[in-house]
Amino acid sequence: MGRMTYIDAARQTLAEEMRRDPTVWAVGEDLGRGGVFTQYKGLVEEFGPDRISDAPISEAAILGAAVGAAMMGTRPVVEMRFSDFALCAVDELVNQAAKARYMFGGQSRVPMVVREPIGMWRSSAAQHSQSLEAWYAHIPGLVVVTPATPADLRVLLAGAIRCDDPVVFMEHKDLWALEGEVPDGPVDGDPIVELGRARVAREGRDITIVSWSAAVHGAMAAAETLGTEGISAEVIDLRTIWPWDREAVLASVRRTGRLLVVHEAVAAGGFGAEIAATVAETLHGDLRAPVRRLGAPRIPISYAPPLEDRVRVTPEAIVAAARSMVGQPEAADG
């Protein structure tokens, strides 16, 4: 094991997959100079401009060309810079890439990764700060990935590149500098199997907290605080939004009897509602408290830091919600 940042894990994994498979290539704006977050730094020197391809400022043209290239046998990695900008190409992704395999009866596939940096990044304002994972989870034919750690980014990006379906790969901008333990060497085995497999980030017995992407770290901080109060919280990092690990979540809630879903995205229509509904419908007789969700209010994200902070789901808010659900913790021998 070695330590690596989130952004270095992304860069190294893409390079390894390009070395492994000559049909893998990347396209987007400013890739030749390393990308807006330096996630492509140094790759054009190794692979050349044909495989690290700079594109004009037209998201629709970038993604439309990549869809065609994927259908013709290559594996494009499409850089959208910000998830907000990808909305300019939503027709190519939702009406073309997501539906091609079905509409052609399996005769054509679109093995493509669309990288969409998501989430709040200090003072990026309303057009550069959104978390839109629920939009894509709603679309049949798309895989949606939201890694929270460098290790998960590494294995999930490899799995996404090797997947034969279009993958919306959502990296949180506020995690680029995050360091973590990452296994040495190339990704072994079949990382595609990790798409749809959750991770138990912390074991617990009193309440299950389900989260993904950057919100996992807030959930972990809250679980530490709750532990000092005698409340044992289990934290599940979903890792992929679609497919999502339904069985892992249900198994956890069967043990704890309580579910709190936490995400940075707007709560109204957020993917947390799908998890909450599934658990409520499946385990309604086993729950010890009503299912709860924590998400952002339905307002644009401000440029001003004090207003931006008002829409954040903080560890303190998670602690308060979990505390109200659990009440007084049971005695250790109870």
- My answer on whether 140 and 167 are in the same domain is yes
Confidence of residue 330 (pLDDT cuts 50, 70, 90): very low
Task: State the DSSP string of 134-200.
Answer: HHHHTSTT-EEE---SHHHHHHHHHHHHH-SS-EEE--BGGGTT-EEEE-SSSPPS-GGGGTT--EE
Confidence of residue 227 (pLDDT cuts 50, 70, 90): very high
Rounded to whole angstroms, how far apart are CA atoms 240 and 213?
9
- My answer on whether 23 and 147 are in the same domain is yes
Nearest alpha-carbon partner for 294 in 249, 253, 264: 264
**Which residue range(s) make up the domain with 94?**
7-194
Query: Residue 331: pLDDT above 90?
Result: no
> Which among 128, 172, 217, 263 is annotated as catalytic?
128
- My answer on whether 104 and 232 are in the same domain is no
Q: Does the global pTM surpass 0.85?
A: yes
Task: State the DSSP string of 282-299.
Answer: HHTTT-SS--EEEEE-SS
Does some domain include residue 332?
Answer: no
What confidence score (pLDDT) does residue 328 get? Answer: 55
Q: Per residue in 278-316, pLDDT tens?
A: 999 999 888 999 999 999 999 888 888 888 888 899 999
Q: What is the CATH number of the domain that holds 147?
A: 3.40.50.970
172 annotated active-site:
no
Does some domain include residue 334?
Answer: no
Q: Per residue in 39-61, pLDDT tens?
A: 999 999 999 999 999 999 999 99
